[in-house]
Amino acid sequence: MARIAIGSDHAGYDLKQHLISILESQGHNVDDHGTHSTESCDYPPICAAVGRSVRDGKADFGIVMGGSGQGEQLAANKVRGVRAALCNDLYTARMARSHNNANVLSIGARVVGLGLAEEILATFLATEFEGGRHERRVQQLTDIENEEQARGDK
């Protein structure tokens, strides 16, 4: 079973709670980075914490959620080594893993219903990275990240 870091803003809170129960019932180890209510909050620190858990090897995968999932994906992707993908359908969930080796899933809680979110999550977790030509492209992404860090993001 996988170790999964999870987090959301207030708009994603109910979906996060639902997915936590699904993941735990499947035997996954879930680390909840918040938020812990539907009270309005800022998502960047929560999503960065999820990303850091993945980067630091404390989690195999991360999941972030918000209203659209856009900002949450962007925030997680600010963490070096994170490849967060916004997946509001099954095709993007499968391609994010098989072609991009995504390690953080972002979902828009105001975009998809509970049933589809469960299917997206299951697809994301079950899909293996294909490697091959995709390995070269993922490495190019890492190289860009390394070059930007070396430049000091000037």
Chain centroid to Cα 144, Å, comes to 20
- What CA–CA distance (Å, rounded) separates 26 from 68? 26
pLDDT tens digit sequence for 96-150? 999 999 999 999 999 999 999 999 999 999 999 999 999 999 999 999 999 999 9
Given a cut of 60, whether residue 90 has pLDDT beyond it is yes
pLDDT tens digit sequence for 1-49? 999 999 999 999 999 999 999 999 999 999 999 999 999 999 999 999 9
- Geometric angle at alpha carbon 123, from 122 and 127, rounded to 5°: 120
Sequence-distant (6+) residues with CB within 8 A of 28 are 1, 2, 3, 4
* Secondary structure of residue 34 in the 3-state scheme: coil
Q: How is residue 88 annotated by DSSP?
A: S
Is 99 labeled as catalytic in the residue annotation? Answer: yes
Q: Which of 99, 118, 119, 134 is catalytic?
A: 99
| Sheet of strand 61-66: strand arrangement | 29-32, 3-8, 61-66, 104-108, 84-86
Is 72 labeled as catalytic in the residue annotation? Answer: yes
What would be the CATH architecture of the domain defined by 3-151? 3-Layer(aba) Sandwich (3.40)
